[in-house]
């Protein structure tokens, strides 16, 4: 039964990823998610207790608040990832479309390698969690699933 659940999650994320702007290869992006992110954030991006925050139904909301887009390029898991800037931009775009498509702005502009490179030059360290909560406090409750709790 657990295997069926994993299969359903895989199929859903694969279908969503095919429509992701700024994603040249959904398969590569998913593999990079599996190797670089899901160990802490879990396969469904729900995070881990006392560890990595949930991104499911929430990560794209950062694009709608001042400083949120830059924040996504500076969090430790992104800024310090062992991926090229191109791969990381693709992974960010895939993550947004896969785990929080409902909150993607209508005028969403995909992350670029240059934008990721700029964010990586000033990674967040100890202040990441504080900044995350400050930004979350600016989310607008729009009634969609995945709102700030």
Residue 116 lies in a domain: yes
What domain range is 22 assigned to?
2-136
Distance separating alpha carbons of residues 64 and 50, to the nearest angstrom: 26
- Report percent pLDDT > 90 for the chain: 62
Residue 21 lies in a domain: yes
Q: CB-based contacts of 30: which residues, under 8 Å, 6+ apart?
A: 13, 14, 17, 94, 98
- Give the CATH number of the domain where residue 125 resides: 1.10.760.10
pLDDT, tens digit (0-9, with 9 covering 90-100), for 129-143: 788 888 888 888 776
Using CA atoms, how far residue 87 sits from 16, 25, 83, 126, 137, in Å, is: 18, 10, 6, 25, 30
Residue 147 lies in a domain: no
pLDDT, tens digit (0-9, with 9 covering 90-100), for 59-73: 999 999 999 999 999
Residue 41 lies in a domain: yes
* Tokens linked to 4: 């069926």
Number of domains the chain contains? 1
């Amino acid at each position: 039964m657990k295997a069926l659940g994993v299969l359903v999650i895989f199929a859903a994320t694969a279908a969503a990823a095919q429509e992701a702007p700024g994603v040249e290869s959904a398969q590569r992006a998913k593999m990079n998610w599996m190797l670089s992110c899901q160990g802490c954030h879990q396969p469904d991006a729900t995070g881990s207790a006392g560890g990595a925050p949930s991104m499911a139904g929430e990560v794209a909301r950062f694009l709608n608040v001042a400083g949120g887009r830059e924040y996504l390029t500076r969090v430790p898991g992104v800024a310090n990832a062992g991926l090229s800037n191109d791969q990381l931009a693709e992974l960010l775009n895939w993550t947004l479309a896969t785990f929080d498509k409902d909150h993607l702005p209508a005028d969403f502009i995909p992350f670029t390698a240059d934008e990721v490179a700029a964010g990586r030059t000033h990674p967040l360290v100890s202040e990441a969690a504080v900044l995350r909560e400050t930004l979350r406090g600016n989310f607008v409750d729009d009634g969609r699933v995945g709102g700030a709790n």
